[in-house]
Structure 1
Amino acid sequence: MYKLRPHHGLCTAFFCGHGYSDVFTRNMREKLRLFGQTDPWIMLTDGADCLCAACPHNLPGHCEDAEKVHAYDKAVLAHLGLQTGAVLRWEAFCRLVDTRILAAGKLAEICGDCMWYAICGKRMADGIVRENPDL
């Protein structure tokens, strides 16, 4: 089972090879490849997860921008009707994110102030969701 921050359901939907560092990008590719092949169980967490592990903004166990990412997580959980600690399969989580947030037009409302939103918003507008060419 993998721990995953709820807002990472959005990040993974639009990942296209950009990241905070080469180490982070490699880890994201590896996890997305693994998740796509094995559909693992994930547990939604409010702390550092398997993607944060390789992030240069990960301080020992928490994000240096904790307040912002906590707000993203809280909004995602509210839209999905889930709570921290929920356990579900990766594919089921992606379907919830895709239908209750992305198809509902809630991306900008949740994370419009994110530094990566220009990329995600453009990919969303172009209809490119969960197409990860670098995998």
Structure 2
Amino acid sequence: MLKIRPHHILCMKAYIGKGYSQKFNENMEKIIKTLKENVNQQVEVVFGLDDICSKCPNNMRNGLCKSQDKVENIDLKVSKHFEIKNGKYTYKDLQYKVYSNINEDKFMDICKSCEWHYITNCKDLNLKK
């Protein structure tokens, strides 16, 4: 079962093939492909390093991210805005929770501090005004 942090639900939809390293990109693309092929599969939402983080060069040996405080804050905002908690969900249910409720204000609250915000397709997430 894939483990996904809350904010990565947004990152996967906006991902355009750019990332921290080749290993990271390959891993992200594999995870996205797996989830697209079966949106009904169960994933586990975790508030910590997940399967996407596993290939990120910011993943430090002690099990934390170099940007730990920032990503924890982003995860908490996603959790609050879309009522996502630790536990098991189908990927389809997670997508529904986020993308049927996202709007520009929520998006900016969650993503404005992200370094990828201006590089990726984040603005194309079908935001409601």
TM over 0.5: yes
User: Partner residue of 1:133?
Assistant: none
List 4+ stretches of structure 1 deviating above 3 A: none
User: Partner residue of 2:10?
Assistant: 10
Q: Residue 63 of structure 1: SS of its match in structure 2?
A: coil
CA offsets, 1:61-100, max 9 Å, x none? 22111000000000000011122x2211111111211122
RMSD (Å), alpha carbons: 1.5
TM-score by length of 1: 0.84
C-alpha distance in 1, partners of 2:26/2:116? 17
Q: Are the aligned partners of 2:6 and 2:84 in contact in 1 as well (CA < 8 Å)?
A: no
TM-score by length of 2: 0.88
AA aligned to 2:77 is A
User: Partner residue of 2:50?
Assistant: 49
Q: Which has the higher contact order (CA 8 A, sep 6+)?
A: 1
User: Partner residue of 2:66?
Assistant: 64
How far did 1:109 drift? Answer: 1.2
* Superposition map of 1:18-97 within 5 A: 18-39=18-39, 40-60=41-61, 61-83=63-85, 85-97=86-98
AA aligned to 2:117 is Y
Stretches of structure 1 that go unaligned for 5 or more consecutive residues are 130-135
C-alpha distance in 2, partners of 1:34/1:124? 21
Number of residues of Structure 1 aligned to a counterpart in Structure 2: 123
Stretches of structure 2 that go unaligned for 5 or more consecutive residues are none
